[in-house]
Structure 1
Amino acid sequence: MTLEILTSDHLGPVRHGFFTRRGGASSGIFEGLNCGTGSSDQTEAVALNRARVAEAMGGPLHGVHQVHSAEVVAATEPDAHPRADAIVTDRPGVVLSVLTADCQPVLLYDDRAGVIGAAHAGWKGALAGVLEATVEAMCERGATPANIRATIGPTISQRAYEVGPEFLDAFLAEDERAPRFFANGAGDRYHFDLPGYGLYRLRHAGVDAEWTRHCTYSDAARFFSYRRATHAGEADYGRLIAAITL
């Protein structure tokens, strides 16, 4: 089955893709293109899926061991997976990648400086500043915020992201502007706008940003979702991959 690769006109001519779950070798609850080496899926299937993505992107994948942090690293070797949640490079031919399953996959590009970045931004990482840290790391390699364009790929939408009051409290303790991204739900529950918050953080950093408006939770045929798998009582879940290269 052919891979389904979502692209963004906002990123211009740079080679990139937000891969859906379609076209992979995994089966069962991981059916499709599960690229999560940390999942309990068959190792051979994940390796084949990742190889298909690498072939589509034109080179081996450079990634990180994601820990919901604000840490950013520069790409080194394809098999190196430092503990971080974003990766940058100004080297042509290097394929940057991040994994998600409701969190935000963010691809960034400065066409004038020839610098790219890829970030995994869940609520913890976004609140800690991973997006701003990615922009800063790109600027250390010649980029400027005004020239950076960023696209947030498939992520959980506000209508599907129900949280409790302690979640709101965590945001209020760090960012007094956060309440605008919470809508009232049933009882003491709220609905958090993760992509809206990501756009706000990127734009506040001076970056021209957009969201593809795909909800991972709401489209099981195309996307893996940690929250949907949890609600279904499944033991594990697949991971989507996003990638970018100069």
Structure 2
Amino acid sequence: MREQPPYLRIVDALQQRIASGQWAPGDRLPSRSHLAQEFSVGDNVVRRAQELLISQGILEGRAGSGTYVAEPRQRLRLVRSQAREERGASPFQADMAGLGKRGSWESHTEAKVPAPAEIATRIGIAEGDLCVRTTYEYFANGKPVQLSTSWEPYALTAGTVVLLPEGGPHAGAGVVNRMAEIGITVSHVVEQPEPRHVTDEEASLLGIQRGSLVTHIRRTYFSTEGRPVETADIVVPASLCELVYEVPINS
């Protein structure tokens, strides 16, 4: 019989300690180096085991503090749906309200940021052309659950009342409704999700362990003429949220 990988052996051992009550919810685990010495493995083996348990919601990482047994809770359900965008309200707030939680966010906008090569390709402009960049941190009952960085071509909204996504009379109205205010109809959105490990900066903002798994969504909105009007990088931690896609069927 094929031998079990070392990290799965650590996973089983940690789960048994939690199930037996040796470690209760909220307890801090011994340091990674301590566990590595106890199980006679390298630090990376322990890290991989902890990452798997964090992704399953059994453990949680706290930036600068360590790894803890997670309090029992359901992962937040985030619905990705163009139909929800068109209803006008914030889809994130609607998701949180449906779960009995208060959804909120903080944002920071810079109005003239040169477009990096990848972003320029995604929104159909030249590298270095100016963009409006807005970074977001989303919260459920005050706890961070999602990050996003949005880019819009500066030339598209310059001089209009919707230049700043979170400022002016249409602050927080969303891409679809803001673009409608300047005569642009958004017809569809394309999303490309893929798993990856969190960056150190993202881990700190989300309060999860370094190296944890996240879903990185590259989202781009298009007008009826096929022009990209906004693109964003959305980061959702696997241990905190589950993504559900709602796809309309035209009869």
Pick the TM interval, shorter chain: under 0.3
Q: TM-score with structure 2 length normalisation? A: 0.25
State which structure, 1 or 2, has the greater radius of gyration over its C-alpha atoms. Answer: 2
- Structure with a larger share of its residues in strand: 2
TM-score (ref. length: structure 1): 0.25
